[in-house]
Chains A and B, each alone.
Chain A
Amino acid sequence: MTSTLDLALTEPESSRLHRLRHNNVTVWVTMLIASAASLVASFVLAIDALTLAEDPNAELGCNINAVISCGTVATSWQSSLLGFPNAFLGLVTEPVVITLAVAALGGVRFPRWFMLSAQVVYTVGLLFAYWLFEQAMFDIGALCPWCLLITLATTLVFFEMSYVNIRDDNLYLPRRAQAALTTFVRSNFDIMLVIAWLLVLVLAVVLKYGETLFA
């Protein structure tokens, strides 16, 4: 009685795109690339911070106009929230994610408590990244390209890490919640959510700064 159409709908697992997306290698490689991008961005921002510490009037390569200005962002108090440049945090934490991704690609399976800790710590990092984004958008009134790259990369790492931890049942969730999340992920609603979310951010930037950026 089961037709092919029914199968395709009840089992979207059969589509090639779906298989690629849920492939273990894809997941970890995405996380690897995103965390490496974050590391590079943190590195550039850390060097900028040192340059500005030496000469507060230094011209940075990414001071393009009133909106795209690393200098404006880098000299704000928010950019050294803990008393040192935020970028240092990226230099310390991103290599851990890179190591995690490489090890996983090599076949290492981390214990549940380890992955749960990684998820918790990374969630704090994500919240921090979004707080900075919000401050840059609405308080500082300037955006810096490297910071935006970090916002994007952090979102992707968080997304893939959540994916893995839901898939591998690492979050110590009640059974019902775990089942619901598994269905959510297997139905690809998570990736739609992330895409929509990133588009919302783009839309916000365009609405607020479009005139300066494109006119």
Chain B
Amino acid sequence: MSKQAQLQRQELRRAQQAAAAQRARRRRILTWAGALVIVGLIAAITVAVVQAAGRERTLPDVTGEVVPPQHLTPGGAIPVGAAAAPVTVEIYFDYMCPACGAFESANAGELDRLLADGVVRIELRPIAFLDEQSSGTEYSTRSANAVAVVADAAPDLVWDFHTALYGHQPTEGSDGLSDEQIAAIAADAGVPADVVDRFTDGTYRPWVASVTRDAFDSGVQGTPTVKIDGVVFEGNVYAVGPLTKAIESAAAGQ
């Protein structure tokens, strides 16, 4: 074998080895990068879970004098329907809460019917714990305040206004409805203009903040919380039927 051929073969082998080593290096780097991404994702999931689990509710501060609206029940709720109705249904809700919207769209029709039949009296407990979900506009508090104004000055229209607000519910995390939009919805529900004009006074903001704190102090875990004659209803509140059945059997039991 000529010396030149031998040299050539050696060189070829060295080049092949170099190429293989480079491939191996690239593979190793990519493997490490992949492993890093996976570890990063696991860390992100852990952080997200811990954060979600430990998230403190930011309840609004009570600033100013607490003035409750008129016509409340002795327990401090906004009553709807005949006082003599056999069953009382108490609903804790926040106008920003999507689950409350789901509750409303499932049950509003049935509740309308039960109210009309005099089977049920509803006690509305608007609370505002999702203010941070409306990009700083405090939609939860503004809407609850507006409902309190209507409860005070036009109590017969509270239910219509309440359902209309959920009919136009903004998505969580958006700006919420503007004051003008809330006013327009109230006007559509038949609330007189002089009452609507009081919304922006914010008279009941301290009251909303205080009932929000009271609600969580009393053991309400989230919204919607529905109580039938004082007992928390544990059934499915997002489907038409279960709540109606529970109300009707409560009525039949009396």
Interface residues of A (CB under 8 A from B): 1-2, 6, 9-10, 12, 56-57, 59, 63, 66, 69, 71-72, 75, 141, 187-189, 192-193, 195-196, 199-200, 202-203, 206-207, 210-215
Residues from chain A with a CB closer than 8 A to the CB of B52 are: 206, 210-211, 213-215
Nearest CB in chain B: distance from A43 CB, A: 22
Nearest CB in chain B: distance from A185 CB, A: 12
Docked-complex contact A196 and B235, CB < 8 angstroms: no
Interface stretch among B59-67, B142-150, B205-213, B237-245? Answer: B237-245
Nearest CB in chain A: distance from B241 CB, A: 3
Docked-complex contact A72 and B102, CB < 8 angstroms: yes
Additional A-B contacts beyond A6-B21, A10-B20, A57-B239 (13; CB < 8 A): A59-B235, A72-B239, A75-B239, A141-B98, A141-B102, A187-B30, A195-B38, A199-B45, A206-B49, A206-B52, A210-B51, A213-B52, A215-B55
Question: B236 touches which one: A12, A63, A193, A200 (CB < 8 A)?
Answer: A63
Docked-complex contact B28 and A9, CB < 8 angstroms: yes
Q: Which of B72-119 contact A (CB under 8 A)?
A: 98-99, 102
Number of interface residues of B (CB under 8 A): 37
Residues from chain A with a CB closer than 8 A to the CB of B245 are: 57
Residues from chain A with a CB closer than 8 A to the CB of B28 are: 9
Interface residues of B (CB under 8 A from A): 17, 20-21, 23-25, 27-28, 30-31, 34-35, 37-38, 41-42, 44-45, 48-49, 51-55, 98-99, 102, 222, 235-236, 238-242, 245
Nearest CB in chain A: distance from B197 CB, A: 36
Closest 9 CB pairs of A and B: A57-B241, A210-B52, A66-B99, A199-B41, A192-B34, A214-B53, A9-B24, A10-B24, A206-B48
Interface centre among B28, B44, B239 (most CB of A within 10 A): B239
Docked-complex contact B242 and A57, CB < 8 angstroms: yes
Residue of A nearest to B99 (CB): A66
Residue of B nearest to A65 (CB): B99
* CB<8 Å pairs between A and B, sample of 28: A10-B21, A10-B23, A12-B27, A57-B240, A57-B242, A57-B245, A59-B235, A63-B239, A66-B98, A66-B99, A69-B236, A71-B236, A71-B238, A72-B239, A141-B98, A192-B31, A195-B38, A196-B41, A199-B38, A199-B45, A210-B49, A210-B51, A211-B52, A211-B55, A213-B52, A215-B53, A215-B55, A215-B222
